[in-house]
Amino acid sequence: MSRKVLSVLLATAMTASLLVGCGGTAAAPAADAAATEEAAPADEAAPAEDAAPAEDAAPAADEATAGKKVGVAMPTKDLQRWNQDGSNMQEQLEAAGYEVDLQYASNDVQTQVSQIENMINGGCDVLVIASIDGESLGTVLETAKAAEIPVIAYDRLIMNTDAVSYYATFDNYMVGTKQGQYIIDTLDLDNAEGPFNMEITGGDPGDNNAKYFYNGAMDLLKPYIESGKIVVKSGQVDFEQVATASWATENAQSRMENILSSNYADGTNLDIALCSNDSTALGVENALAANYKGNYPIITGQDCDVANVKNMIDGKQSMSIFKDTRTLAAQVVKMVGQILKGETVDVNDTTTYDNGKGVVPSFLCEPVFADINNYKEILIDSGYYTEADLQ
């Protein structure tokens, strides 16, 4: 089956000012990569204007967009960030004049496959997909390809299919380098005597991004491990050992409870808890509250979820990477318009993200980090949260 891709004109209000906070720095390869760029030091967090999208970022509705339909497939409502991603996407697409079919799949792959099938059969002109398992959508996306429906992989690369047209995400390797550099700077690892004890909590092995986060941090921290300045007492260092299925808080908590009881019950201090995101960080924080009596460690995170920002304010989490989903949504809306109009689609990385069938042209937005020193500027002054949200 084929159908002609009709052009859509996005209003000129969607300009480069949408992309404040987006950077053109390419990520380093996810596997066996040496750090290829110097991460920003921890005291150089971007100011709020670098994190917040421009005012009135979504393009105005246009007659040419009437009747165009965009399918948006999100993995779950169980994590705060996907609710925000979905609602931001829907709001900006509808403001641009599109009909939107937004679906959440409850972290069930077959549900997501069925939802995508329905989007294809329901006449969607473009699909935007944040996959649950990047390896599991090849068959349904062959149907999209046969129907000449372009596919944008959203934040998670879809693997082993040539049906993915573009990838829009944050610089995932940089997420890890910022976490690693924060640890280096906070402990002054280049000058401190050490040793410092660290435990690692990674992400879901089914999420392609998880290895990018892990490698970004570990490429900076491995030299300190090899020199003995950082010690991982559990011995669990490899990604396969530290991965957390489904990014689930309860899985991270259970694993950390076992690590604490086996290695830190005698009062040994845990100095660093490298956590790839906020849901895993929350599990580690829960385990520490129940089973740990030593000095409180540095804890990293990602997504600036409300519960974690509250913990940051309370001294229970050190930092969290902030990826402003309004900015990413605005970029995807722009890409949708460029695709349908037949224009050159904005990308800033054409070498890094090989999904097993070829390199997928990508647009990478640059993340920043929030901590106790700048969270008001980054999160509240930008309008992402209100003071009341964090009470």
pLDDT of 170 above 60:
yes
Give the model's confidence band at 59: pLDDT under 50 very low, under 70 low, under 90 confident, else very high.
low
Of 61 and 194, the one with more pLDDT: 194
- What are the structural domains of the chain? 16-170+325-366 (3.40.50.2300), 172-322 (3.40.50.2300)
Q: Which pLDDT score, from 0 to 100, does residue 60 have?
A: 52
pLDDT of 34 above 60:
no
- The whole-chain average pLDDT of the chain stands at 86
**129-148 residue pLDDT tens:** 999 998 999 999 999 999 99
Give the model's confidence band at 260: pLDDT under 50 very low, under 70 low, under 90 confident, else very high.
very high
- What percent of the chain is modeled with pLDDT above 70? 83
Q: Which pLDDT score, from 0 to 100, does residue 65 have?
A: 63
pLDDT of 329 above 70:
yes
Q: Which pLDDT score, from 0 to 100, does residue 29 have?
A: 36
- Please report, for the chain, how many H helices and E strands are present, in that order: 12, 12
Alpha carbon distance 152, 83 (integer Å): 18
Cis peptide before 195 (omega within 30 of 0): yes
* pLDDT, mean of residues 377-391: 96
Alpha-carbon dihedral of residues 23, 24, 30, 35, nearest 10 degrees?
A: -90
Q: Which pLDDT score, from 0 to 100, does residue 206 have?
A: 87
- The model's pTM: 0.77
